[in-house]
Amino acid sequence: MKDIELIIKNLPTSWKELKLRDYLKIVDVSLIEYTNDIYEADFVKLDNAIRVLSSLTGLTVNEIEVLPVSYVNQMVAKIAFMDKLPSERIKPSFKIKRIEQITFEEYVSFLNYTSKPELIFPNLANIIKQFSTTPFTEEEIENLNMEDVLACFFLSKKQLGKSLTNLILQTVKKLMRIKAKQVKVHLLKKLQWGKKNINIDTDGIG
């Protein structure tokens, strides 16, 4: 068997240490769903952790399960950071396109990539390609750390959300201006019609 201590040492301990290429392996891992049973949930959590560790280390699930408990505990403790996503306030180390630089096609692609929760993480590399101002190669994207990758996703989502909100506000304002103009035209027509009636009545009196 491989040198377990070296394997443990090389395991990531934060999102910043986890590479996108390694995370994409985890995305394909078949995880067990949690149950309402508190005691059973602990076993499910451990089982899922072992499956994730298997994809990260190259060891089979069986190879990990026959390891001493102390080793397994160390490995599970190292990847405990995955229980919580990094802060959405973190900015990526590379620059993201401004709203005015984003094309309609890119906007539609982003909506497609994020239309379902299960599509988001497998498409993180595509999101970076479209929204980063840096022309990354495939290899460079795969070597990006997950803190930067997720920060790019959070920032892109935030920017596009603001853009959509502004678009809605502009549309509402435009509709209000059109409506106001229509009301004005309607009132003017009413006034003109009223003036004609007044003139007719005046002529009749004379």
Q: Which of 28, 26, 4 shows the shortest CA–CA distance to 79?
A: 26
Give the model's pLDDT for residue 63. Answer: 93
Give me the residues paired with residue 145 across strands: 19
Residue 37: per-residue pLDDT: 58
User: What per-residue confidence (pLDDT) applies to 74?
Assistant: 94
Which one has a higher pLDDT value, 55 or 155? 55
The pair of structure tokens assigned to 177 is: 């201006």
Question: Quick one: pLDDT band at residue 155, thresholds 50, 70, 90?
Answer: confident
pLDDT above 50 for 205: no
What mean pLDDT value characterizes the chain?
A: 79
Tokens 């920032």 — which residue?
A: 155
pLDDT (0 to 100) of residue 206 = 47
Contact between residue 76 and residue 49 where contact means Cβ atoms under 8 Å apart: yes
At residue 98, the pLDDT reads 81
Whether 191 shows a pLDDT value over 70: the answer reads no
The mean pLDDT value for 149-162 works out to 78
Structural element, H or E, at residue 205: helix 146-205
CA distance 128 to 184: 49
**Global pTM value:** 0.66
Report the pLDDT averaged over residues 151-162. 76
| Predicted pLDDT at 174 | 60
Q: Which residues are CB-neighbours of 156 under 8 A, at least 6 positions away?
A: 96, 110, 127, 131
- 3-class SS string, 91-139: CCCCCECCHHHCCHHHHHHHHHHCCCHHHHHHHHHHHHHHHECCCCCHH
Q: Is the pLDDT score of 19 beyond 90?
A: yes
What is the amino acid identity at position 51? R
Q: 90: Cβ–Cβ under 8 A, 6 or more apart, which residues? A: 147, 150, 151, 154
Tell me how far apart the alpha carbons of residues 145 and 81 are, in angstroms, rounded to a whole number: 14
Answer left, alpha or beta for residue 58, where phi above 0 means left and psi between -120 and 50 means alpha. Answer: left
Which pLDDT does position 168 carry in this prediction? Answer: 47
User: What's the residue count for the chain?
Assistant: 206
